[in-house]
């Protein structure tokens, strides 16, 4: 069990390597980018890790509010996706054959919560969505063949006024201390 928690957090940490975010002169994140991020899952992060800075990797770097990055900057005209990929690598189940049902039952026990609010103000809970369970082939050093679900939220253009916001993530694994990550989201006009 500890190995699974470490793997999930390690995968999330490794997927949060520094990636250049968009400047005001670059392409803004649109609805198509958001749908691509939600539907492609960790593909964009995998491409970013492997150095492929096109397609999903580019969208991931520009439009995703990553749990482990301390600062993010977007404009009021952009869509934003924030969240985490919860993964269960095939080789962590200690069985001769992979048991997908056991993997999804484990992932169902993980609780993710997010709060967002203006810096210095009160934080309010953010409504989260999640994809169904999907299989994905990570690079071997990041878990290899895994089952995952993407727990995420979407911020629409104009939903947040210009300013600085605090984001607070909590990930709770049954029987273990809660994992907490915090960051700052700056929204430009």
Q: Is 76:157 a contact under the CB 8 Å cutoff?
A: yes
Tell me the pLDDT tens digit for each residue of 49-107: 555 555 566 677 788 888 888 999 999 999 999 988 888 877 665 555 667 787 788 89
- Name the residue range of residue 126's domain: 2-188
Global pTM exceeds 0.85: no
User: Please, which residues have CB within 8 angstroms of residue 8's CB and are 6 or more apart in sequence?
Assistant: 86, 87, 88, 110, 171, 173
> In this predicted model, what pLDDT tens digit does every residue of 7-54 receive, in sequence order?
454 444 434 444 444 444 468 999 988 888 888 767 656 555 555 555
**Is 149 in contact with 134 (CB distance < 8 Å)?**
yes
Number of domains in the chain: 1
For residues 170 and 112, the answer to whether their CB atoms sit within 8 Å is yes
Q: Return the SS3 of 97.
A: coil
CA distance 121 to 132: 34
């Amino acid at each position: 069990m500890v190995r699974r928690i470490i793997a999930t957090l390690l995968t999330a940490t490794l997927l949060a390597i520094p990636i250049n975010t968009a400047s005001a002169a670059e392409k803004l994140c649109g609805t198509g980018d958001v749908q691509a991020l939600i539907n492609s899952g960790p593909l964009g992060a995998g491409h970013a890790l492997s150095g492929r800075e096109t397609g999903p990797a580019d969208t991931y770097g520009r439009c995703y509010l990553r749990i482990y990055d301390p600062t993010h900057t977007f404009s009021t005209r952009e869509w934003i996706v924030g969240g985490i990929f919860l993964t269960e690598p095939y080789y962590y189940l200690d069985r001769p054959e992979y048991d997908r049902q056991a993997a999804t039952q484990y992932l169902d026990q993980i609780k993710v919560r997010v709060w967002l609010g203006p810096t210095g103000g009160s934080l309010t809970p953010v409504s989260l969505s999640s994809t169904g369970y999907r299989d994905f082939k990570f690079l071997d050093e990041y878990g290899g063949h895994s089952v995952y679900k993407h727990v995420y939220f979407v911020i629409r253009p104009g939903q947040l006024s210009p300013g600085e916001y605090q984001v607070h993530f909590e990930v709770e694994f049954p029987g273990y201390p809660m994992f907490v990550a915090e960051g700052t989201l700056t929204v430009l006009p």
